[in-house]
Amino acid sequence: MKSLKNLCIFTLLVAFVVGMPFLSSAQDKIKITVACGAVGLEKQLTDEALAEFMKNHPNIEAKSLDTPDLANDRLGLYLQFFQAKSSEVDVFQIDVIWPGDLAEHLVDLNQYGAADVAKEHFPAIVQNNTVNGELKGIPWFTDAGLLYYRTDLLEKYGYKEAPKTWDELEAMATKIQEGERASNPDFWGFVWQGNAYEGLTCDALEWVASHGGGSIIEPDGNVSINNDMAIKALERAKGWVGTISPAGVTGFAEEDARNMWQAGNAAFMRNWPYAYKLGQADDSPIKGKIGVAPIPGEKAGQSAASLGGWQLAVSKYSKHPKEAAEVALYLASAAEQKRRAIVGSFSPTVMSVYQDKEVLEAVPFFGNLYDVFINAVARPSTISAPKYNEVSTLFFTAAHDVLTGKKDGKTAVEELELDLQDLMAKK
Ligand code: GLC
Q: Per-residue pLDDT tens for 32-68?
A: 999 999 999 999 999 999 999 999 999 999 999 999 9
Residue 26 has pLDDT above 60, yes or no: no
Tell which residue, 389, 150, 191, 176, has the closest CA to residue 291.
150
Residue 19 has pLDDT above 90, yes or no: no
What confidence category does residue 343 fall into, taking pLDDT thresholds of 50, 70 and 90? very high
Which tens digit of pLDDT belongs to each residue from 91-112?
999 999 999 999 999 999 999 9
CATH number corresponding to 146-306+378-425: 3.40.190.10
- Is 311 within 8 Å of 94 (Cβ atoms)? yes
What DSSP character marks residue 77? H
d(CA 239, CA 402): 10
Q: Is the CB of 143 under 6 A from ligand 1?
A: yes
Residue 376 has pLDDT above 50, yes or no: yes
Q: Is the CB of 96 under 6 A from ligand 1?
A: yes
What confidence category does residue 3 fall into, taking pLDDT thresholds of 50, 70 and 90? low
DSSP characters over 38-59: -STTHHHHHHHHHHHHHHH-TT
Furthest C-alpha separation in the chain = 94
d(CA 209, CA 232): 11
- Is 276 within 8 Å of 63 (Cβ atoms)? no
Looking at every residue in the chain, the average pLDDT score rounds to 95
The alpha carbon of 45 and the centre of ligand 1 are apart by a number of angstroms equal to 18
**Residue having the nearest C-alpha atom to atom 1 of ligand 1:** 308
Can you give the pLDDT at residue 25? Answer: 55
Count Cβ atoms within 10 A of the Cβ of residue 70 and give its class: 0-12 exposed, 13-18 middle, 19 or more buried: middle
| CA 186 to chain CA centroid, nearest Å | 28
- In the chain, the percentage of residues whose pLDDT exceeds 70 is 94
**Virtual CA dihedral for 134, 140, 144, 146, nearest 10 degrees?**
-170
Can you give the pLDDT at residue 1? Answer: 45
Can you give the pLDDT at residue 380? Answer: 97
Tell me the average pLDDT across 156-180.
Answer: 98
The alpha carbon of 159 and the centre of ligand 1 are apart by a number of angstroms equal to 31
- Is 349 within 8 Å of 139 (Cβ atoms)? yes
Tell me the average pLDDT across 162-172.
Answer: 98
- For the chain, give every residue range classified as CATH 3.40.190.10: 27-144+308-374, 146-306+378-425
d(CA 207, CA 305): 9
- Is 281 within 8 Å of 295 (Cβ atoms)? no
Tell me the average pLDDT across 126-151.
Answer: 98
- Residue 309 amino acid letter: G
Which tens digit of pLDDT belongs to each residue from 73-97?
999 999 999 999 999 999 999 999 9
Provide the CATH topology of domain 27-144+308-374.
D-Maltodextrin-Binding Protein; domain 2 (3.40.190)
Tell me the average pLDDT across 194-204.
Answer: 98
Mutate to test the pocket of ligand 1, among 73, 272, 379 (most ligand atoms within 8 A of CB): 272
Can you give the pLDDT at residue 32? Answer: 98
**Residue having the nearest C-alpha atom to atom 9 of ligand 1:** 308
- Is 380 within 8 Å of 215 (Cβ atoms)? yes
The residues, ordered by sequence, that sit 6+ positions from 34 with a Cβ below 8 Å of its Cβ are 46, 50, 62, 63, 64, 65, 89, 90, 91, 92, 93, 312, 327, 328, 331
Can you give the pLDDT at residue 45? Answer: 98
d(CA 168, CA 144): 21
Atom of ligand 1 at shortest distance to CA of 197?
Answer: 12
- In 236-271, which positions are buried (b, 16+ CB within 10 angstroms) versus exposed (e)? bbbebbebbbbeebbebbbbbbbebbbebbbbbbbb
The residues, ordered by sequence, that sit 6+ positions from 312 with a Cβ below 8 Å of its Cβ are 34, 91, 92, 93, 94, 137, 138, 140, 328, 331, 332
Can you give the pLDDT at residue 17? Answer: 47
Can you give the pLDDT at residue 427? Answer: 84
- End-to-end distance of the chain based on CA atoms, in angstroms? 81
Residue 21 has pLDDT above 60, yes or no: no
Higher pLDDT, 410 or 19: 410
188-191 vs 266-271, strand pairing mode: parallel
d(CA 120, CA 417): 39
**Quick check: pTM over 0.85?**
yes
Whole-angstrom CA distances from 42 to 120, 185, 220, 276 are 23, 33, 36, 13
Tell which residue, 184, 190, 187, 183, has the closest CA to residue 168.
190
**Omega before 285 within 30 of 0, i.e. cis:** no
Collapsing DSSP states into helix, strand and coil, what is residue 268?
strand
The residues, ordered by sequence, that sit 6+ positions from 76 with a Cβ below 8 Å of its Cβ are 68
The alpha carbon of 199 and the centre of ligand 1 are apart by a number of angstroms equal to 6
